[in-house]
Amino acid sequence: MKETIKLLTEAYGPSGYEQTVREIIKNQVESYADTVEVDPLGNLHVLKKGTGDGLKIMIAAHMDEIGLMVSFIDKHGFGRLTGLGTLFPQSLVGNRAIFTDGTVAVINAEKWPFPERIDHSFRNLYLDFGVLRKEDVPVHVGDVAAFQRPFVDLGETLLAKSLDDRIGCAVMIETLKQLKTTPHEIYFVFTVQEEVGTRGAITSAYKVQPDVAIAIDVTDSGDVPEHKQHFEVKMGQGPAIKVMDIGMLAHPNLREWMVETAIANDIPYQLEILRLGSTDARAMQVAGAGSMAGGISIPCRHLHTPSEMVNYQDVQQTVQLLLALLSNPVVLG
Ligand SMILES: [Zn+2]
């Protein structure tokens, strides 16, 4: 599974530019799926037909990663940028941004120390393309970039850019590969543009109209030195079953089914109450006539920075939990 994670996290795919990631996933899933389809927005729908006795279940993970867009180029050839998704300017200085055509730029800040307010901080950042004249700048306003970072296997822990949410994609691929029989009709959907407002999941859920919808994504980890406002979820303590986040309340019966399945299968779990951010689960919950939605999240340190970190056992246990859930009838209280 680590090879797939390396392949996925090193691939280029900021929001709206998920083509490379989609091709990698397509190659991995094709021989395990009943149908594979790409919709007009770019979402990848992978259907696994069941025995016909179950429900229609949609599982979603997003293919896009946080990135940036060039918003202005000054007369000296330095670029200004805007975020594609939520970026923390303080974590960007000294990083390299790689563009769709392979161009690489360095991110630095005009003023130190950083001004406190985030909007000010963003105006403070610039891109250096290593050119001496504006005419030599190799990109244009509107061009997008992702971070350039290799995957590192630290053994128990994995370090990479874009673990949000390529790790969710890897979990879904692995689950599909290992899933033997299921009563359910399962749509594994690899979505686009989550980081800019869960846009792919909205249209995908509208198309699938699932009974039950589950997002596989990352969540914060409360075990780091910086203040995390009493956040319970910790890296290495098992998958986090979503209770709520800023965009949704997970369906209580769905949550309970996940908890009972984890206990019955000796899979450690945590309960996630996230006060920042949301996932594709929110989009699936309210799309069309709505669905019973919930989420399983993998704790991730340094979320939304170019160096995200997850525990490999948490990842494997997320696969185990998803397999246990999908192999059996849904029990909703
Ligand atoms: Zn995510």
Q: Could you tell me if 169 and 236 lie in one domain?
A: yes
DSSP H helical ranges for 276-311: 280-286
**Structure pTM?**
0.95
Q: 153 lies in a domain?
A: no
- List pLDDT tens digits, range 181-197: 999 999 999 999 999 99
Q: Could you tell me if 295 and 245 lie in one domain?
A: yes
- The CATH number covering residue 270 comes to 3.40.630.10
- The CATH number covering residue 139 comes to 2.40.30
Q: Could you tell me if 178 and 202 lie in one domain?
A: yes
pLDDT, mean of residues 211-215: 97
Q: Could you tell me if 265 and 127 lie in one domain?
A: no
Is residue 194 part of the annotated active site? The answer reads yes
DSSP state at residue 141: T
Q: 152 lies in a domain?
A: no
Ligand 1: centre distance to CA 262 (Å): 23
Structural tokens at position 248: 């949704």
DSSP state at residue 101: T
pLDDT, mean of residues 62-86: 96
The single-letter code of the amino acid at 92 is L
| Residue pointed to by tokens 């709206």 | 16
- 110 has pLDDT over 90: no
Q: Could you tell me if 250 and 208 lie in one domain?
A: yes
Structural tokens at position 305: 């920075």
Rounded to whole angstroms, the maximal C-alpha distance in the chain is 67
Q: Could you tell me if 236 and 283 lie in one domain?
A: yes
Ligand 1: centre distance to CA 221 (Å): 14
- 113 has pLDDT over 90: no
Query: Could you tell me if 56 and 187 are in contact, meaning their C-beta atoms sit under 8 angstroms apart?
Result: yes
Selecting among 65, 185, 194, 308, the annotated active-site residue is 194
Say how far apart CA 283 and CA 281 lie, in whole Å. Answer: 5
- The whole-number pLDDT of residue 172 equals 98
Number of other residues whose CB lies within 10 A of the CB of residue 294: 26
Ligand 1: centre distance to CA 111 (Å): 30
Number of other residues whose CB lies within 10 A of the CB of residue 87: 24
- 160 has pLDDT over 70: yes
Q: Could you tell me if 186 and 270 lie in one domain?
A: yes
Residue 286, burial from CB neighbour count under 10 angstroms (0-12, 13-18, 19+): middle
Q: Could you tell me if 169 and 25 lie in one domain?
A: yes
Q: Could you tell me if 53 and 101 lie in one domain?
A: no
Query: Between vectors from CA 17 to CA 212 and to CA 303, what angle results, nearest 5°?
Result: 65
- The whole-number pLDDT of residue 152 equals 98
Give 115's pLDDT tier (boundaries 50, 70, 90): low
Q: How many domains does the chain have?
A: 2
Domain that includes residue 195, residue range: 2-65+161-327
Domain termination site, one of 125, 147, 169: 147
